[in-house]
Amino acid sequence: MAAPGEAVATAGEDRSAMQVRLAMATAVGQAVHQVVDQPRVLDDPIAVPLAGLSPDLLRSFGDSEPRHRAGRLYVASRSRFRDELIGAAARRGVRQAVLIFPGLTTFAYRRPDSELTVFEVDNAAVQTFKRERLGVVGVATGPGVRFVELEPDGKLRAAALADQGFDRTKPCVVACVGALHFTSPTFVADTVRAVAELSVAVDFVGDFFDRPDPAAPERENLHGLTAALGFPPRSFFTVAEMNAELTAAGFEILANLTATQVCARYGASGPELDRNLANLHLFHATTTSGMTRDVR
C-alpha cells in the first residue's frame, strides 16, 4: 500500500517510484494469497489479473519463508475486516467510505453497493499506475469511485475530498491500513486529527506497529520483513500511545486488536503468525458513540 512521500526510497529511486513499488509489492502478496493459501481469508477475483503475474510464478512465491505467509494472511485479514466494517455501515445507510493510501486495493471494484461512494486518497503516481492496471484488466472504475490526490506535502485535506463530492455533513467510514507505520509519528498524529474532523460522524480503522521486542530476531517479525524489502517502518506506538492519539483527536476506541487476533477471526492461525505478527495492531474507533460497533 502506498504511503505518503515520507517513506524512504532506495538509492537512485525517486519517491513516486518507491510508492508504486510498495503498492505493487502488497498487490503481489494478495495475488499469492489467492493461489496459494487455502482456505482463503479473502476472495478477491481481481487480485491475480491486477498483479499481472502468472499463477505459476505466484505459486513459486508461496514457498518463501514463514513470515511472508504471516504477512499475506494478515493483509488479507485486515482487508476483510475493513470490507466488513464498511459493508455493515453501508447497510445502516452510510454512503461514504474514504480509503487513505489504498494502493492497489480492490475493495471499491468488488462491491455491489451502488449507493456507496468510495473516495480513494493517494499519491498521484500510485493512482495513475492503478488506473492503468485496472484498464489493462478491463475493470471499470464507475461513478461510485472518486480519486483524490494528496496535497504536495502528502497530507489529507478535507477540501480536496469536497471537490470530489464528499459531504462532511454526512457520516463516513475511513480506512488507513498498511500505511501509517511508514510515516513519522508527527504525520500519524496529524492524520488522526484530520480524519476525526472529516465529517460529523467518522468510523475509523487503521493499523500500527508496536515497539519491537529487542530480544526478538528481526528476521522473525513483519517490520523486519518490510525493512528487508526496502520499506522500513518509521513510527512505532505502544497500544496506550495510539489510544492516547485517538482519544485526543475525539475518537472513542471500540477495538484494539493484535494482528493474530484479526487473523484468528477468519480462521488463520499458526505458530508463524504468533511469532511474526507479535508487534502489529489494528484499531477501530469512532467519533460518535454508538454509530457503529466492532464487526461481529
Question: Cβ(118)–Cβ(108) under 8 Å?
Answer: yes
Query: So what's the pLDDT on residue 12?
Result: 44
Write down the pTM of the prediction: 0.90
Helix (H) / strand (E) element for 12: namely none
Cell numbers that stand for 3 in this block:
504511503
Q: Homologous superfamily of 15-286 in CATH? A: Vaccinia Virus protein VP39 (3.40.50.150)
One-letter amino acid for residue 278 of the chain: A
The answer to whether 294 and 269 are in contact (CB under 8 A) is no
Whether omega for the bond prior to residue 55 falls within 30 degrees of 0, making it cis, is: no
Which stretches within 124-177 are classed as H helix?
124-136, 158-163
Question: Phi, psi (5° rounding) for residue 178?
Answer: 75, 15
- Residue-by-residue pLDDT tens, the chain, 296 positions: 333 334 444 444 577 888 899 999 999 999 999 999 999 999 999 999 999 999 999 999 887 678 889 999 999 999 999 999 999 999 999 999 999 999 999 999 998 667 899 999 999 999 999 999 999 999 998 889 999 998 777 778 889 999 999 999 999 999 999 999 888 999 999 999 999 999 999 999 999 999 877 666 655 567 777 777 778 888 999 999 999 999 999 999 999 999 999 999 999 998 889 888 988 999 999 997 545 544 44
Q: How many residues does the chain have?
A: 296
User: Which grid coordinates are listed for 36?
Assistant: 496459494
Q: CA end-to-end span of the chain, whole Å?
A: 26
Q: Which of 98, 289, 120, 283 is nearest to 201 (CA)?
A: 289
d(CA 75, CA 80): 9
Q: To 10 degrees, what angle do helices 239-248 and 185-196 make?
A: 40
CA dihedral 152, 158, 162, 167 (to 10 degrees): 160
Q: Judging by DSSP bridges, how do beta strands 96-100 and 172-176 pair with one another?
A: parallel
**Among 241, 239, 245, which Cα is nearest to 257's?**
239
- Using CA atoms, how far residue 63 sits from 47, 60, 223, 234, in Å, is 19, 6, 20, 29
Distances (CA, A) of 156 to 44, 182, 189: 28, 16, 12
Q: What share of the chain is helix, strand, coil (3-state, %, to 5)?
A: 45, 15, 40
Residue 67 identity (one-letter amino acid): R
Inter-residue contact 41 to 268 (CB < 8 Å): yes
Q: Which grid cell sits at 250?
A: 475525539
Residue 107's Cα: distance from chain center in Å?
11
Q: How many CB atoms lie within 10 A of CB 148?
A: 21
Distances (CA, A) of 206 to 50, 107, 165, 272: 24, 15, 24, 23
